[in-house]
Amino acid sequence: MFRVRLQASATLDDKGRLALPAQLKRALGDRGLYKMVWMVHRGAIWGYTLEDFDAIETQWGDRDPFEPEVLQFTHAVLATAQDVEIDRQGRVHIPPMLRKLAGLDKSVVITSVLNRIEVWDSERWEARYLQAVTGLEQSGGAS
């Protein structure tokens, strides 16, 4: 788990590299983590430490692989997973396939929530955030 709570705007460079915010770079470096697993889920890239991703794979790996829900999740989500390295400058290369699937171009928003990092196209994030806030308000949830 990252233990970093943030939302930050960032820009992908021409090579698809993303400079992680200083707080995340520090937190990962302090734990000696220089590799992550990125995957596409719900219109964004979700990034996990190897340990946290292993827990997800174990959870799904313990289920019947022929169960329709398991097949759908493994094909739609786990099949997009890729190991990525964090370079000395705190940058992560986002592979072209993941950028395409998540609709990432230049302007992105990085959030660190629970045990993952999420990277969203800026416009998609605004729409998703408004959808989440509206859903909370309609359900009478926290404000």
Instruction: Give pTM, 2 decimals.
Output: 0.89
Residues 6+ apart with CB under 8 A from 30: none
Closest CA to 88 of 28, 45, 37, 39: 28
Alpha helices by DSSP H, listed for 11-67, are: 22-30, 50-61
CATH fold for the domain made of 6-139: Chemotaxis protein chec (3.40.1550)
45 and 95 Cβ atoms separated by less than 8 Å: no
Domain ranges of the chain: 6-139
pLDDT per residue, tens digit, the chain (143 aa), is 667 899 999 999 999 999 999 999 998 888 888 999 999 999 999 999 999 999 999 999 899 999 999 999 999 889 999 999 999 889 999 999 999 999 999 999 999 998 999 999 999 999 999 999 998 888 877 65
